Amino acid sequence: MPGPGAVGVFARRHRYHPLEAVPWLVAVAGYFAFPSYLPLGAQILATILFALSADLVLGYAGIVTLGQAAFFGAGAYTAGLLAAHGWGEPISGLLSGAAAAALIGLLSGLVILRTTGLTLLMLTLVVASMLYEAVNKASWLTGGDDGLQGMQVWPIFGWFRFDLFGRTAYCYCLIMLCLCWFATRRLVHSPFGRSLVGIRENILRMHAIGAPVARRRLVVYTISAALAGASGALIAQTTGFVGLTFLGLDRSGTVLIMLIIGGVGRLYGAFIGVPLYMIAQDRFSTIDPVYWYFWIGLLMVLLVVFARGGVLGLAERLQSRLGPRR
Amino acid sequence: MTADFLSAAVNIAFNGLAFAMVLYLISVGLSVTMGLMGFVNLAHGVFAMAGGYLVTSLMKEQGVPFPLALIAAALVVAAVSIPIERLLYRRFYGGDELDQVLLTIGLAFMSVAGATYIWGPLQQPLQLPAWLSGPVDLGFRSFPAYRSFLILSGAGLVTALWLAVERTRFGARVRASVDNLRMAQSVGIDTSRLFMATFALGSGLAGFGGALGADLLAVNPGYALQNLIYFLIVVAVGGLGSIRGPFFAALLLGVADTASKYLVPEFGAFFIYALTLAVLLWRPRGLFGRA
């Protein structure tokens, strides 16, 4: 029986808290409450997975990246190409997308993670741009600028057809997100995950106690790439389209923004930031697509200057101010 | 065959050098900001974009001559950068990298919308004066006048910059602070003012580079984000905090970029990125970076 004080806090921190059920209850309620918004809902769920992959590499391993879209796009194009060339089975397509992204993450991580700071940031951007150029120029295969055409995604298990109202897409994304979230949660609370936090907080000390820092960073980078690839594959399969924007700097930048709005390194920031961002975008950007970026940029500046930690950070501060002193 | 080859090589070297000058003028400020203040400024391209917009509008609407417009653009950008540095950037020096990235990406996003609001979504063409629009005959062959002017004025400015860094008291203070910030502070260098001055200088140079290269790097609202990767490559390959390193990196990038667009256009910028990866695999701290 874990006692009070520090020991108790450490012993309890990996247990499930009742609040953790809230996102899933909201997601299930959303299915019944907004039947006409299910396609948007499916996109939100898949994007949460993308933001979760960014949270793993950024919030836990402390690797600042501007190239997460490389893995997202790699997964999307892999799943898309399979579906466009006669293999539309969704689950295996999803796994192939994740595997392709993981492979790119592993290979690029071998180079990128040797560097630090601005150089690392630049190299993540270079890898994404390289992939962008390759896809753009190989238009005989990928459709180039026009995007990939003619995807045929088969029903899941040969039974659940992707319908026009997005019911299947929504449930498919929700189940996949739930599985990935569960695995990620296990990962960050495992000794491996704690050592990542150690590397983020004090890399020299982790070297000194003999942790295999380079290998751990490479492993988490690869896992994060696989999650991003799965997210890209989900979006490709549920929307039936893959384009060059899947690989662009905008995509890497906006996923960071969504994560920051929710809160980094908390595992739930993605569940708050992504819906807020995407619902707001759905409302406002149709009126004013260019100036959308102005307000998003301003919001980022304000968040960094005044509200580090995003919504969850604010909630924590509020709680510690109002709640009983421990 | 050999004459063709030679002419192609001269073309690549000439155009590559012109591109390298623009890249260096824009990026050197970024390298110093990074090395001196430990600040990742992803919005650095905004200063170059502002220079480009200022020079095109000054010439089109006020009829200011090109050289004067260049200097005015550089001065205005330098002046505007000071309040930004004092009010916004200063508090993030040496701090959390993620905060810096988010802050400056946010500013770059705002610049896209801001430029669209003021100048519209279309590219602003640079209307060259008559004395710069033709070719210049150098005896053995002729070169475009605009790019020759670009190379010459860039070379003059780079020489002045290097002399200033090596020979003046200000330059000595900058070098001392890059080498050892705390020691520089303890011998009485006012680093806060030094930061402000170098930041303004770097921004002014970026404004000048953006204005001078307005015909090479198209002036449009997406400028800061589209060209970000080039500026970052120059700084990272050159070595952070170095003044000379980025010059050689810019030269390498400028010539390689021109050559690959000339020889293998079907691959686009792919080779540039591969080259960057290879160089940094070989020397993770850049060509002139210190251990």
In this predicted structure, what is the pLDDT of residue A326?
Answer: 46
Residue-wise pLDDT for A213-246, tens only, equals 999 999 999 999 999 999 999 999 999 889 998 9
Residue-wise pLDDT for A149-188, tens only, equals 888 888 878 777 777 778 889 999 999 999 999 999 999 9
Residue-wise pLDDT for B16-51, tens only, equals 999 999 999 999 989 888 888 888 899 999 999 999
pLDDT band at A139 (very low <50, low <70, confident <90, very high): confident
Nearest CA in chain B to A302: B103
Residue-wise pLDDT for B13-23, tens only, equals 999 999 999 99
Residue-wise pLDDT for B53-109, tens only, equals 999 999 988 888 999 999 999 999 999 999 999 998 988 888 888 889 999 999 999
pLDDT band at A45 (very low <50, low <70, confident <90, very high): very high
Q: Which residue has the tokens 């874990």?
A: A2
For residue B40, list chain A residues with Cβ-Cβ distance below 8 A. 117-118, 121
Tell me the β-bridge partners of B143: B136
Residues 6+ apart with CB under 8 A from A191: none
In this predicted structure, what is the pLDDT of residue B291?
Answer: 52
**Contact state of A291 with B284 under an 8 Å Cβ cutoff:** no
Q: Does position A57 have pLDDT exceeding 90, yes or no?
A: yes
Q: Does position A1 have pLDDT exceeding 70, yes or no?
A: no
Tell me the β-bridge partners of A160: A156
Cα–Cα separations (whole angstroms), residue B268 to B13, B15, B55: 18, 17, 29
Domain boundaries, chain A: 29-286
Nearest CA in chain B to A293: B109
In this predicted structure, what is the pLDDT of residue B1?
Answer: 57
Q: Does position B202 have pLDDT exceeding 50, yes or no?
A: yes
Higher pLDDT residue, A17 or A66? A66
**Contact state of A256 with B121 under an 8 Å Cβ cutoff:** no
In this predicted structure, what is the pLDDT of residue A123?
Answer: 93
Q: Which ipTM did the prediction report?
A: 0.88
- CA–CA dist A239, A250 (Å, integer): 19
Nearest CA in chain A to B34: A118
Q: Does position A299 have pLDDT exceeding 50, yes or no?
A: yes
- CA–CA dist A236, A153 (Å, integer): 10
Least confident of A205-219, A281-295, B35-49: A281-295
Is B36 touching A (CB cutoff 8 A)? Answer: no
User: Is there a contact between A102 and A222 (Cβ–Cβ < 8 Å)?
Assistant: yes
Among A60, A293, A298, A308, the residue to mutate for chain B (most B Cβ within 10 A): A293
Cα–Cα separations (whole angstroms), residue B286 to A126, B165, B188, B209: 15, 21, 31, 23
Is A128 touching B (CB cutoff 8 A)? Answer: no
Question: What is the total residue count of chain B?
Answer: 291
Structural fold of domain A29-286: ABC transporter involved in vitamin B12 uptake, BtuC (1.10.3470)
For residue B277, list chain A residues with Cβ-Cβ distance below 8 A. 111, 123, 126-127, 130
Mean pLDDT of the A53-79 span: 94
Least confident of A19-28, A63-72, B246-255: A19-28
Cα–Cα separations (whole angstroms), residue B218 to B20, B132, B249, B263: 15, 18, 22, 22
Angle at B9 between CA B3 and CA B11, to 5 degrees: 100
Mean pLDDT of the A121-140 span: 91
CA torsion through residues B259, B264, B269, B273, sign: negative
For residue B103, list chain A residues with Cβ-Cβ distance below 8 A. 300-301, 304-305
Mean pLDDT of the A242-257 span: 90
